[in-house]
Amino acid sequence: MFHIFCPYCQEYREEEEFHPSGQAHIERPAEPASVSDEAWGDYLFLRDNPRGIHHEMWVHRLGCRKFFNITRDTASYEILETYRMGEQPSITAASAEVRREQGVQTADGGWQTVGARPENSRLNEETPS
Amino acid sequence: MSEARSEARPEDNGGNAATFDAHPGADAGVTPESPLQWSRVQGRVTEEGGAAEQIRVVERPFLGHLVLRGGAITLDEAVRAELGVSLPGKPLGLVLDAEGSRSVQWVSPDEWLVIVPAGEEFELENRLRARLGDAHFAIVNVGGGQTLLELSGEKARELLMKSVTYDVHEQGLPVGKAVGTVFAKTSVVLRRPSEARFELVVRRSFADYCVRWLLDAGREYGLRVESASP
């Protein structure tokens, strides 16, 4: 079971309280009427399926019932960060690559998954990249 | 009972919405039934009273439950004026008034649950509406949809440890904290209003299930579920 940090309740909760709701940061076309069928179809149905860093929307359905975003590694299932709606992720596929090269164990903000807590708190600090 | 007292038209309460009293009293010809009515008929819930066991579960039926939604600053002013307590601004906060019978609970960043003694919710809703006027807010009386169970006794914490995924130890759930969480695969609001008590707010449709779960989990402590008469 994951221990997920809810950015609204501001504490870690059991995964059982949450539900995933698909890819995050999908923008609705500003003027749906002038969008081509193909572009509208892409907006409605096509989703990324990356191996590695992925940004997802989750809902704290049995807690505060708010939607928020999670940056997750789809290969290792590691949750790298959670952040509120309307905010931008601090970890992206590009920045994660840099971190891996520098040998940093996990990202700033903390130990989202069991086992990701670093031995040394210095390892958890922001690395200039 | 006159109609004017059990209903309020928009012009009576600030021009926002019509409201009505969900518990108009016995003379209105409606017998109130709490969400535990079926459990009571089935004999799972007994009358309040009797010797205190290691753990005691008492339903507090027909309390006024109001959900307030809107901006914290606007609502805080109105609640402070009408209830005399401030809106808990921090997540998972629970504030009680001096008597301990009225409470305001943080549910989410723009949502609070107010629980007041039976019969007060209709007047309170109207007063809040009048005070809030044209502000952007919503007040919903959810008293018919949920009920409150009070757990006390030395084994109450152990019973909860078997039932919820949340950490109910003193450090996880200190006095003045309230969380929405999983209780036996269903959702409850778990509250800690005082050192000696835990409170569960259960949904109407899951009330009997929760009672059965409590009875089963509390069998080793000789648990009974009690309730005041309707």
Tokens 């009690």 found at: B226
Phi/psi of residue B41, nearest 5 degrees: -60, -35
- Residue B29 region by backbone torsions, left for phi larger than 0, else alpha for psi between -120 and 50, else beta: left
**B148 confidence band (pLDDT: 50, 70, 90):** very high
Cα B187-B189-B193 angle, rounded to 5 deg:
160
Q: Indicate if the pLDDT at residue B146 is higher than 60.
A: yes
Among B69, B164, B179, most A C-beta atoms within 10 A, so best to mutate, is B179
Give the 3-state secondary structure of residue A45.
helix
Q: Which residue of A has its CA nearest to B172?
A: A11
Who wins on pLDDT, B213 or A129?
Answer: B213
Closest by CA position to B110, among listed B79, B77, B137, B140: B137
Q: Which of the four pLDDT bands, split at 50, 70 and 90, describes residue B112? A: very high
Task: Give the list of residues 6+ apart from residue B92 with CB closer than 8 angstroms, or none.
Answer: A9, A10, A11, B106, B177, B178, B179
CB A83 within 8 A of CB A36: no
* Across B201-230, average pLDDT: 91
Reply yes or no on whether the pLDDT at A112 is more than 90: no
Domain boundaries, chain A: 3-27+37-124
Per-residue pLDDT tens for B75-100? 999 999 999 999 998 999 999 999 99
User: According to the model, what pLDDT value does residue A71 have?
Assistant: 95
Contact A16 B108 (CB under 8 A): no
* pLDDT greater than 50 at residue A115: no
Q: Are residues B182 and A17, on separate chains, in Cβ contact within 8 Å?
A: yes
Q: Which residues of B touch A (CB under 8 A)?
A: 91-92, 107-109, 111, 165-166, 179-182, 187
Domains of chain B, first to last: 31-62+145-230 (3.30.1360.120), 64-142 (3.30.70.1520)
> Whose CA is closest to A106, among A79, A75, A87, A70?
A79
Please return the burial class of A34, using the count of CB atoms within 10 Å of its CB with bins 0-12, 13-18 and 19+: exposed
What pLDDT, in 10s, does the model give residues B16-39? Answer: 688 888 877 767 777 888 999 999
Evaluate whether B35 touches B146 at the Cβ level (below 8 Å): yes
pLDDT tens digits along B167-214: 999 999 999 999 999 999 999 999 999 999 999 999 999 999 999 999
Give the side-chain half-sphere CA count within 13 A for B111. Answer: 13
Check residue A107 and give its pLDDT: 45
pLDDT of residue A10: 94
Summarised one tens digit per residue, pLDDT across range B34-56 is 999 999 999 999 888 777 678 99
Cβ–Cβ under 8 Å, residues B227 and B48: yes
Interface residue of A64, A65, A66, A87 to substitute, partner B, most B CBs within 10 Å: A64
Tell whether the model's pLDDT for residue B215 goes beyond 70.
yes
Q: Across all residues in chain B, what is the average pLDDT?
A: 90
Calculate ∠ Cα B97-B103-B105, nearest 5°.
Answer: 130
For range A116-121, the mean pLDDT: 53
Closest Cβ opposite residue A65 in set B92, B108, B179: B108
Instruction: Name the residue type at position A30.
Output: A
Given an 8 Å threshold on Cβ–Cβ distance, is B92 in contact with A11?
Answer: yes
Most A CBs within 10 A among B92, B168, B183, hence the mutation to make, goes to: B92
Q: Any idea what DSSP says for residue B103?
A: E
Structure tokens at A67: 């939607």
- Ramachandran region of residue B70, left (φ > 0), alpha (ψ -120 to 50) or beta? left
Cβ-based contacts of B92 with chain A (< 8 Å): 9-11
Helix (H, G, I), strand (E, B) or coil at A77: coil
Are residues A116 and A81 in contact, defined by beta-carbon separation less than 8 angstroms? no
Q: pLDDT (tens digit, 9 = 90+) per residue, A44-92?
A: 999 999 999 999 999 999 999 999 999 999 999 999 999 999 999 998 8
**Would you tell me which CATH number, out of the four given (3.40.640.10, 3.40.50.2300, 3.30.2270.10, 3.90.226.30), belongs to the domain A3-27+37-124?**
3.30.2270.10
DSSP state, residue A20: E
- Residue B49 near residue B226, CB atoms below 8 Å: yes
The length of chain A, given as a count of residues: 129
Model confidence at A117: pLDDT above 90: no
**Chain center to CA of B210:** 15
